[in-house]
Chains A and B, each alone.
Chain A
């Protein structure tokens, strides 16, 4: 018999960005809120200078990441393969502990475009029938730019977003992104400092007619006090952001931006080492009664709650829904069920440029330092002649100068004298021009429960079925050609390319990005979305699932701003409507 804890109004599973935001919003509404976090507690004090800036511990050994033992997924590339579990992290690095990936992210905080939110409508209008792949399952988000804009604005103030405004209430601003959706307010803080590589990229991109602008950053350019009274110190460009907690408290994270404000509230509490294994449902299956978790002693505990917020990582949110029987599991053959449907990812690629005589000083950088342009996002160029839909963020980013991760020319030995000689010769003489591409959703890119592999508690692992599709490989080729043109202007002494091209398959061992999205997507049609447009389960009305899982397909940039804005959007509806009259916020008809 499981132990039972006293009932709470709302239980939040996972205390990263979305859990922290929901914590603030639901305690604001007067609810008694409890957060359950699978990993350990982490506070600012855990990131104190200089111990958090340790490349072996954090960059290589992934101290801040989930361990495959706790959270492996099994992976196959098509329906015919047998999926095998991850034994080692590779392509993506979900975060562990309080703060989640929000503690170790790089800090690029960028909005999608209005078109990205309504991609299906755009595709129907911009592409002739038959141009796009027939197994593509792209959809609109079901929420518009105007609805989300106030929430982007607020979250960007929470983070002290630093950058250059491109479109202020419809007026195009010099130096910003002319393709961004209209912002109601300018960036809270000015852009980060430029570097040698951003200057070079900026000049080359302008020469080719593009519109580069500083990477929108959640590494703050100035000291910042946010609307919650939380504070960030000015970034000192130490270069330890991605995979690290910030030693200077300069990177927006749940720790720097929300948690202490939340912890002060007497109607909030949190427990760590509390691994939620399933949401418990009432006998009719229409409401949740709470969650069951395994505590740090290995005991099973039932936590009753009137409302459940699944705020863990996107992949785990989907797994929890499946293991709890919330909604119907997606079947790619009959195309029925919605939970696990439309898993998507991001496609990367780039050209490494080496210059014998240029010193880039890559160690002096913020994670988000860089320039990008949006000339190749959907709607800003015509991709129909090339036979693909989607776009890419084209950028030169210099996230870090740590020595072990420093890129070296292809065929450099990975150890021994050859490695040392190359490191000496090329360290500091390298910059990269890259693309981060959108990935559409397809019938057979999906998540479900693995029929074979189980976790230590006997619960099925999540199975990921994913491979690159022709649409993305065409996009990759197109963007490669554009980046080659930029490289030609920059005239490096040596360069190497790395792109996914026709015939390539997804490799789980190579890092791509931790922008795993979809699987429990939002929408307005219960036949193709697991959540309604308020991130409420269509099937169990007191379960809300904010996260990257809600994206019906992925856009060409970083997801955090959209994930947070969607969370505030959902919270607003919960406060204004749901709490007054709990029940489905949209009818299934």
Chain B
């Protein structure tokens, strides 16, 4: 929608005048649009079925629901009356025009690293490239004491310490570009860095081992993004630079397919970034030493051996356990006996970070409700994983999940039927066998999809 609006607008500008000043202005707006993609502003500032950037999405926090604001250039309901200085203060310091603090659901502690040049481009985009929408999103009203926005001042003083980005001279320029995007606009740490007692991210940059070390997100494990050597080789540690680029660009690679919250990040943000920026992000992540907490539990050889053993048992199909039987009947068609999935099409289960997470919520959710990869510009294909909630009982899901958490060298605790029951209760559409389409219904003009 945004892009569609942008094009006629740019065409208008060009018609008004052919002066080079305006051509530059177009470039600036376009660059701002790109940066807004990189920051995934639309993810929080667009409500389901709502107009882009008109706000109103309810974000669940431990303190209550925080509603995103209208950041379209509408002067009354949006940010049309913001000066560039006020815009910069909101973005980098979490300050409203009236001087009140924004809730840190807005990742201003990360955006604090934005260069003046990028803030300028973003401002140009939000003022000139976004359609104004005159709607007022619901007011956020948290209970006491969290409704006291002045309290955030202390929080900011304690935790929001990031400064404007300056590349480190001793590091590779591409890696540094990656650091800028990951620490800043990408605000990857919002989900992937563990949080402390005051819900602050334990680290905002790579000066600390906790940075991007993996975190719990409402029960889903947002895995460690520390992709360098040194851990147990599961998840992203086993990926090379190209695999990381493929994942961010298309939502899938030779190892994995995206699920959970990251699906929308890929659909709306990373799949639109340039290859060079994605490579810089991948290089930066590879430069972070793996989380030392991930002590190596099994060598690659041991895992290969375990994979062979599981595959042999499933292939022989003699004296199968209930978990093995459930796997063959429900999963093996796509993920195969060796748990290898299929190259860039179906995810690998061996060494999969979602399956091996301490908290099995994400795995249970995926088994019950299925998953649907995003349609991305380069890989528009969507091969949805069906949900099995209509077909498998809580006990069966627990047995199946326990099996996959122990097969092919995977090593995670068993799952109980009670855990499955809790996740089932949390899924609104549990009886459906379809995951919602992250892209909405594409150009279909009567919504019977």
* A-to-B contact residues, CB < 8 Å: 40-41, 43-45, 48-51, 222-223, 225, 228-234, 236, 238, 247-249, 256, 260-261, 263-266, 268-273, 296
CA distance A271 to B446 in the complex (A): 6
- For B4, list chain A residues within 8 Å (CB): 266
CA distance A222 to B444 in the complex (A): 31
CA distance A4 to B434 in the complex (A): 35
- For A236, list chain B residues within 8 Å (CB): 332-334
B345 and A232 within 8 A (CB): yes
B448 and A41 within 8 A (CB): yes
CA distance A273 to B446 in the complex (A): 9
B433 and A48 within 8 A (CB): yes
Chain A to chain B contacts (Cβ below 8 Å), 27 pairs: A41-B448, A41-B449, A44-B383, A45-B382, A45-B435, A48-B386, A48-B434, A49-B330, A49-B334, A50-B386, A225-B379, A230-B381, A231-B344, A233-B345, A236-B334, A249-B345, A260-B375, A263-B380, A264-B375, A265-B443, A268-B443, A269-B443, A269-B444, A270-B443, A270-B444, A272-B448, A296-B446
Other than the known A234-B345, A263-B444, what 13 A-B pairs have Cβ atoms closer than 8 Å? Answer: A41-B449, A43-B449, A44-B384, A45-B384, A48-B384, A48-B386, A222-B343, A229-B379, A260-B375, A263-B443, A264-B377, A271-B444, A296-B446
- For B375, list chain A residues within 8 Å (CB): 260, 263-264
B39 beta carbon closer than 8 Å to chain A: no
Nearest residue (CB) in B for A229 is: B379
Q: Which of A231, A266, A272 contacts B444 (CB 8 A)?
A: A272
B382 and A40 within 8 A (CB): no
Q: Which of A231, A261, A269, A270 contacts B383 (CB 8 A)?
A: A231
CA distance A265 to B3 in the complex (A): 12
Smallest distance from the beta carbon of B374 to chain A beta carbons, Å? Answer: 10
Nearest residue (CB) in B for A263 is: B442
A260 and B345 within 8 A (CB): no
B433 and A51 within 8 A (CB): yes
Q: Which of A44, A49, A247, A270 contacts B445 (CB 8 A)?
A: A270
CA distance A225 to B246 in the complex (A): 13
A231 and B442 within 8 A (CB): no
Q: Known contacts A236-B334, A260-B442: does B448 contact A40 (CB below 8 Å)?
A: yes
- For B378, list chain A residues within 8 Å (CB): 229
B383 and A223 within 8 A (CB): no
Smallest distance from the beta carbon of A24 to chain B beta carbons, Å? Answer: 11
- For B343, list chain A residues within 8 Å (CB): 222-223
Nearest residue (CB) in B for A238 is: B333
Contact with A along B367-405 (1 / 0, CB 8 A): 000101001111111111010000100000000000000
B342 beta carbon closer than 8 Å to chain A: yes
Smallest distance from the beta carbon of A366 to chain B beta carbons, Å? Answer: 13
B346 beta carbon closer than 8 Å to chain A: yes
Q: Known contacts A231-B345, A238-B333, A272-B446: does B379 contact A45 (CB below 8 Å)?
A: no
- For A50, list chain B residues within 8 Å (CB): 386, 391
- For A248, list chain B residues within 8 Å (CB): 333-334
Nearest residue (CB) in B for A49 is: B386
- For A45, list chain B residues within 8 Å (CB): 372, 382, 384, 386, 434-435, 437
CA distance A320 to B267 in the complex (A): 40
* B-to-A contact residues, CB < 8 Å: 3-4, 250, 330, 332-334, 342-346, 370, 372, 375-384, 386, 391, 433-435, 437, 442-446, 448-449
A273 and B448 within 8 A (CB): yes
Smallest distance from the beta carbon of A248 to chain B beta carbons, Å? Answer: 6
6 tightest CB-CB pairs across the interface, nearest first? A48-B386, A263-B442, A231-B381, A223-B342, A260-B380, A223-B345
- Where chain A touches its partner, the secondary structure class is loop
- For A229, list chain B residues within 8 Å (CB): 250, 376, 378-381
Smallest distance from the beta carbon of B348 to chain A beta carbons, Å? Answer: 12
- For B391, list chain A residues within 8 Å (CB): 50
Q: Known contacts A225-B344, A248-B333: does B386 contact A230 (CB below 8 Å)?
A: no
CA distance A523 to B445 in the complex (A): 37
- For B381, list chain A residues within 8 Å (CB): 225, 229-231, 256, 260-261
Nearest residue (CB) in A for B447 is: A41
CA distance A327 to B442 in the complex (A): 36
Q: Known contacts A263-B442, A263-B444, A268-B443: does B344 contact A223 (CB below 8 Å)?
A: yes
Q: Which of A44, A233, A236, A247 has the most CB of B within 10 A?
A: A233
Nearest residue (CB) in A for B370 is: A48
CA distance A264 to B442 in the complex (A): 6
Smallest distance from the beta carbon of B410 to chain A beta carbons, Å? Answer: 22
CA distance A375 to B316 in the complex (A): 41
- For B346, list chain A residues within 8 Å (CB): 223, 233
CA distance A45 to B375 in the complex (A): 13
CA distance A233 to B330 in the complex (A): 16
Q: Known contacts A236-B334, A268-B443, A296-B446: does B377 contact A249 (CB below 8 Å)?
A: no
CA distance A247 to B386 in the complex (A): 10
B449 and A264 within 8 A (CB): no
Nearest residue (CB) in A for B329 is: A50
B444 and A41 within 8 A (CB): yes
CA distance A296 to B435 in the complex (A): 26
Q: Known contacts A49-B386, A233-B334, A260-B375: does B445 contact A271 (CB below 8 Å)?
A: yes
Smallest distance from the beta carbon of A577 to chain B beta carbons, Å? Answer: 28
B342 and A233 within 8 A (CB): yes
CA distance A266 to B2 in the complex (A): 12
Q: Known contacts A51-B433, A231-B345, A233-B342: does B445 contact A260 (CB below 8 Å)?
A: no
- For B433, list chain A residues within 8 Å (CB): 48, 51
- For A49, list chain B residues within 8 Å (CB): 330, 333-334, 386
B342 and A234 within 8 A (CB): yes
CA distance A225 to B379 in the complex (A): 8
A249 and B448 within 8 A (CB): no
- For A264, list chain B residues within 8 Å (CB): 375, 377, 380, 442-443
CA distance A248 to B384 in the complex (A): 10
- For B445, list chain A residues within 8 Å (CB): 269-271
Nearest residue (CB) in A for B372 is: A45
Smallest distance from the beta carbon of A285 to chain B beta carbons, Å? Answer: 30
- For A256, list chain B residues within 8 Å (CB): 381, 383
B448 and A44 within 8 A (CB): no
- For A48, list chain B residues within 8 Å (CB): 370, 384, 386, 433-434
CA distance A484 to B4 in the complex (A): 64
Smallest distance from the beta carbon of B227 to chain A beta carbons, Å? Answer: 24
- For A260, list chain B residues within 8 Å (CB): 375, 380-382, 442
Nearest residue (CB) in B for A48 is: B386
Smallest distance from the beta carbon of A217 to chain B beta carbons, Å? Answer: 17
Nearest residue (CB) in A for B250 is: A229
Smallest distance from the beta carbon of A15 to chain B beta carbons, Å? Answer: 11
- For A233, list chain B residues within 8 Å (CB): 334, 342, 345-346, 383
- For B384, list chain A residues within 8 Å (CB): 44-45, 48
- For B383, list chain A residues within 8 Å (CB): 44, 231, 233, 249, 256
B333 and A247 within 8 A (CB): yes
- For A231, list chain B residues within 8 Å (CB): 344-345, 379, 381, 383
- For B370, list chain A residues within 8 Å (CB): 48
CA distance A261 to B370 in the complex (A): 22
- For A247, list chain B residues within 8 Å (CB): 333
